Structure 1
């Protein structure tokens, strides 16, 4: 199956998922990529540490606002990647039609949860970004024809 669209999910949709969305958009511009949260800070902006990383890395997230995942958003995407196993379970229970399309972002790196940096130190945000970047690269390598 050829994936055309990716949805990146985290909890609040203001830290991890927008950073991963920005990485996908930067590194695989032909894919339709968006993000949402399972407990989104609807309309929320990225915390300063995440916004600084996005700016430094050229991720073009200045206008990002948090949004809540819903059935339509799930239906509109071929592949859904999440940060934590609990999020995968929540999505496949709440939206059974998503089963078989929801994977951990870290799937190709052992499937470990990627911790939420919300309200943590700048150093922790940098640590989480350093986890996100190779995970997104793994997906891009597999989804974008060479």
Structure 2
């Protein structure tokens, strides 16, 4: 199973989701990307790395990249952190492609969250990680 996690800049939410999920389900192939290209080649944002590291997740090997049209062909499942991410990716979907494109919070329906808030703006890195862990656990259950 190849899973792609996508947020806006690929420096907070999606690398955190990738890092958490690869720990929970190491047999899955994972990657992350951003719908915007501002941070291509950069490591995850320092405060997100620190919050993740405090929970035992190492994000230091990850580098931001931009979502590409061919990601629909490469991955079995593409997961967006918010509805804007989903809409931006949907515009790039090749005709006839049926790769599932879902919100990460669909895997944590009891959380009451509709989207994973962007801690780059909210500054709540631990709160974002709490939700990411809950969603990743639900995703693992759905794929197992």
Distance in 1 between the 2:84 and 2:115 partners? 9
Q: Which runs of 5+ in 2 are unaligned?
A: none
Q: Give the total of aligned pairs.
A: 139
List 4+ stretches of structure 1 deviating above 6 A.
none
1:35 aligns with 2:32: yes
Partner of 2:2: 5
Correspondences of 1:1-146 after superposition (within 5 Å): 4-40=1-37, 41-96=39-94, 99=98, 101-110=100-109, 112-121=114-123, 124-144=124-144
Given that 2:78 and 2:99 are in contact with CA atoms closer than 8 Å, whether structure 1 keeps it comes out as no
Given that 2:72 and 2:99 are in contact with CA atoms closer than 8 Å, whether structure 1 keeps it comes out as no
Distance in 1 between the 2:142 and 2:48 partners? 26
The TM-score with structure 1 as length reference comes to 0.87
Q: Which runs of 5+ in 1 are unaligned?
A: none
RMSD, matched Cα: 1.7
Distance in 2 between the 1:137 and 1:98 partners? 27
